[in-house]
Amino acid sequence: METLKINGVEKEFAAGIPATVVELLKQLDIEAATVVAEIDGQIVEQAKFDQAALRKGQSIELIRFVPGG
């Protein structure tokens, strides 16, 4: 089974891992407007979420921002 490590936890994708960050966020039902994404420690700019190809075994950090400061 293909996996990605998402926020430190291994997640299995029975139908194969999503092709891009946009697809991953859709599957996880996460709103892209308030997320910072890193792949293997490298920032992915929001404008490139639809181009950033994912490969099995990568480590993804998704930081979801909620308001307040």
Which residues of this chain interact with other proteins, rule CB under 8 A?
A: 33-36, 38, 41, 43, 45-46, 61, 63-69
Q: Which is nearer to other proteins, 1 or 38 (CB)?
A: 38
Minimum gap (Å) between residue 69 Cβ and other proteins = 4
Minimum gap (Å) between residue 17 Cβ and other proteins = 21
Check if the beta carbon of residue 60 is closer than 8 Å to that of residue 41.
no
Give the C-alpha separation, 10 to 13, whole Å.
10
In sequence order, which ranges of 1-69 are alpha helices (DSSP H)?
21-28
Q: Which is nearer to other proteins, 10 or 40 (CB)?
A: 40
Find residue 5's DSSP bridge partners.
10, 59
